[in-house]
Amino acid sequence: MATLQAFFQQCPSLSAFPTSSSYNHLSPYSSQSLVKFRLYASCQASSPITVVKENTDLRTSEITEVRLGLPSKGRLAADTLDLLKVCQLSVRQANPRQYVADIPLLPNLEVWFQRPKDIVRKLLSGDLDLGIVGLDTVSEYGQGSEDLIIVHDALEYGECRLSLAIPRYGIFENINSLKELAQMPQWTAEKPLRVATGFTYLGPKFTKDNGLKHVTFSTADGALEAAPAMGIADAILDLVSSGTTLRENNLKEIEGGVVLESQAVLVASRKALTHRKGALDITHEMLERLEAHLRAAGQFTVTANMRGSSAEDVAERILSHKSLSGLQGPTVSPVFCKRDGRISADYYAIVVCVPKKSLYKSVQLLRAVGGIIPSQVITVPDIIVPPESGKLRRSAFWSASTPSSLGLLIRACRQYLMQAKCFR
């Protein structure tokens, strides 16, 4: 900037206009902004000048909105938008070609659609404050950075695993474990095991940690399954979902060859949580909404009527079966009816939440203890609101030495974890 000021001081009639290509290089949110100007003066011919503005951090002073990065394409992008929608956090996008959007219920939040790896990079650079990506992407491009905090580690979609796969036949036919692969005499310093992968950080780290000494990695994107058949690699390290593509290309996973299990996670910048105004509040609200939906998604509410001498008598019969204990316990209420001109309460209504996978078994148990179950009142709740005293459940990689505001969030997470035990 001093260079530019010097030019203006030397020639007062000087004027500057951005060149047509300068906007491709201008980013008001980067720590370095490269701006190209074409300078015009009455005393000399026009000449292009490149000005580099160094060590200028515009994020703290100029950016007031909290920024959330979401995947821009693919199944992960669609599933992310679906999850936010059912959490009443629908993303409003003016048109599909725009990369910036908003969430009406979170007015101080901007949504930016980016490639997953760019979301992680921009979290590290400070251009984004929050992001939803796969754990594999965070691990590969975050490379263990302490500035990345995985706030919610299981959004329950985008499940896959990063796994090592080798050919099913040839010299690998009888190789079924990572240990056997490492002990193969074929691998030497002159002829190492060749692995094709797009995970050039996690791959070498994994092989080093597991004693594979003679290994080289080649970078490849897409159609990795063809690499061994083409003779350009001996093995591949790639994301696996069902394993069908591996089998169709005569490849197999081996025991001990899984680098990590991955799914979608909510990740945040530690700097943003401690310094960006409103970031902590938005993170708190997103966590509460996400956890409420995820907790409710696997639960059914079952209502039944049961005859009993008292509410305590009915509750004792219900609680004799652990699977009927619900989230914290059954709700038991008297059912009032009029018989022979008198109000009586011989029956009690029981309301209990049960896991979806145990629904049929729970209904059978209720009937066995005397419950009468009207089928029309078996419902799926929209959300399960967590206790007021602790609203957050999942958090990981927190630092013990944090500012008080972040410390409050951490303590809330821990308190919620303690209270959540009675829900499981």
Provide the pLDDT for residue 48: 39
Could you read off the pLDDT tens digit of each residue along the chain, which spans 424 residues?
444 444 444 444 444 444 434 434 334 333 333 333 333 333 333 333 333 343 434 444 456 789 999 999 999 999 999 999 999 999 998 888 889 999 999 989 999 999 999 999 999 999 999 999 999 999 999 998 999 999 999 999 999 999 999 999 999 999 999 999 999 999 999 999 999 999 999 999 999 999 898 999 999 877 899 999 999 999 999 999 999 999 999 999 999 999 999 999 999 999 999 988 899 999 999 999 998 888 887 788 888 888 888 888 888 888 888 778 777 788 888 888 877 778 877 888 888 888 877 788 888 888 888 877 654 344 445 444 444 434 444 333 333 233 344 444 544 444 444 444 333 3
pTM of the model: 0.69
Confirm if 164 and 196 have CB atoms less than 8 A apart.
Answer: no
Max CA distance (Å), the chain: 110
* C-alpha closest to that of 117 among 215, 14, 50, 200: 200
Confirm if 77 and 47 have CB atoms less than 8 A apart.
Answer: no
CA distance to 118, 240, 310, 381, per residue, from 66 (Å):
17, 34, 54, 31
* C-alpha closest to that of 282 among 103, 35, 143, 147: 103
CA distance to 64, 80, 403, per residue, from 123 (Å):
16, 18, 19
Provide the pLDDT for residue 52: 39
In what order do the strands lie in the sheet containing 15-18? 15-18, 33-41, 44-53
Bridge partners of 75? Answer: none
d(CA 152, CA 249): 35
d(CA 367, CA 203): 54
Tokens of 21: 């290509």
Bridge partners of 245? Answer: none
For the chain, the 3-state helix, strand and coil shares in percent, each to the nearest 5, are 35, 30, 35
d(CA 217, CA 237): 9
**181 Cβ contact list (under 8 Å, min separation 6):** 164, 166, 172, 175, 193, 212, 235, 254, 257
Q: On the CB side of 53, how many CA atoms lie within 13 Å of its CA? A: 19
Question: Position of tokens 């696997």?
Answer: 298
Tokens of 145: 């950075």
Provide the pLDDT for residue 259: 96
Q: Chain centroid to CA 20: how far?
A: 38
Tokens of 353: 């939440």
CATH numbers and ranges of domains, the chain: 2-56 (no CATH), 63-158+264-295 (3.40.190.10), 160-262 (3.40.190.10), 299-377 (3.30.70.120)
* C-alpha closest to that of 147 among 110, 122, 112: 122
Read off the DSSP letter of residue 39: E
